[in-house]
Structure 1
Amino acid sequence: MHLGKVVPILRIFDEAKALEFYVDFLGFKVDWQHRFEANFPLYLQVSFGECVLHLSEHHGDCSPGAAVRIQAQGLEAYQQQLLAKDYRYAKPGIEETPWETREMSISDPSGNRLVFVEG
C-alpha cells in the first residue's frame, strides 16, 4: 500500500475575492482554471511550493468552513511579508502551541481556515 499527496478542495463563493486572497495576499500562483461553459462555476488549482489547493465554486464539491494544516518553514518571515502587504481582512499572528509548534491561522473570504504550521 502506498498513498500519495492529498489535495484539499476548498469551497469559494467569490472568484475575485478568492484570487485577491490566495494570489495577491498569500502569494500562491494559479496553475489552471476550468469552467464547463461561460457563466458556470469556476474550479481552479493554486500552488505555493509543494502546497497545492483546489478551489471550487461548485455547490456539491465541498462545504465552506474547512480547515487545512499546511507544513511551513520560515513562518516568521512569511508572516512579516503578509503584514507588509497591509491586507484589509487579515493581520495574522503566530501562536506558540502547547504541542511545541508555531502556527499562523488565516481565514479566507469563504470562511475556510488555513493553518501554517512550523515545528
Structure 2
Amino acid sequence: MHLGSITPILRIFDETKALEFYVGFLGFKVDWQHRFEENFPLYLQVSSGACVVHLSEHHGDASPGAAVRIQAEGIDAYQQQLLARDYRYAKPEVEETPWGTREMSIKDPFGNRLVFVEEGKG
C-alpha cells in the first residue's frame, strides 16, 4: 500500500472572515469554490505552495477547533510578512520547542489552529 498526501477540512462559519484570514493575512490563494445552489454553504480549497486546505461551511464536514501542523521553511521571514500585514486578530510569534523545532501557531477566526513547523538546524 502507498499513502498519499492528506488534505485537512477545516470548519468555517463566515466566508468574508475566512477569506480575510486565509487569503488576505496568510497569503493563500483560492483554487476553487463550490456551492450546491445559491445561498447554500460554501466549500472551497485554498493553497500556498504544496500546502492545501479545504474550508467548509457545511455542518457535518468538520468540527471547529481542529489543529493542523504544516511543514515550513523560512518561518522567520513568513512571520515578518504576517506582522507587516497588521492583521488585527493575530500577531504570531515563533517559538523554539524542547523537541528541536521552531513553530508559529495561529488560530483562525473559527478556533482552528494552524501550526507552521520548521525543523531544527541541528
TM-score bin, normalised by smaller chain: over 0.9
- 2 CA distance for matches of 1:38 and 1:101? 44
**What is the TM-score normalised by the length of structure 2?**
0.97
Q: Distance in 1 between matches of 2:39 and 2:85?
A: 32
Deviation of the 1:13 alpha carbon: 0.4
Question: Could you say which residue in structure 2 is the equivalent of 1:31?
Answer: 31
> C-alpha root-mean-square deviation of aligned residues, in Å?
0.2
- Give me the whole-angstrom Cα distance separating, in 2, the residues matched to 1:102 and 1:43: 32
TM-score, normalised by the number of residues in structure 1 = 1.00
| Per-residue deviation, 1:27 | 0.3
Post-superposition CA distance 1:60-85 (Å, at most 9, x none): 00100000000000000000000001
AA partner of residue 4 (structure 1): G
- Report the counterpart of residue 46 of structure 1 in structure 2: 46
1:110 CA displacement: 0.5
* Offset, 1:35: 0.1
Q: Distance in 1 between matches of 2:26 and 2:65?
A: 18
Alpha-carbon distance between aligned partners in 1 of 2:82 and 2:13, rounded to the nearest angstrom: 23
The whole-number CA distance in structure 2 between the counterparts of 1:31 and 1:37 is 19
Q: Which runs of 4+ in 1 moved over 4 A?
A: none
1:22 paired residue number: 22
CA distance in 1, matches of 2:88, 2:62: 27
Report how far residue 101 of structure 1 moved: 0.1
Q: Extract unaligned runs of 5+ from structure 1.
A: none
State the AA in 2 paired with 1:77.
Answer: A
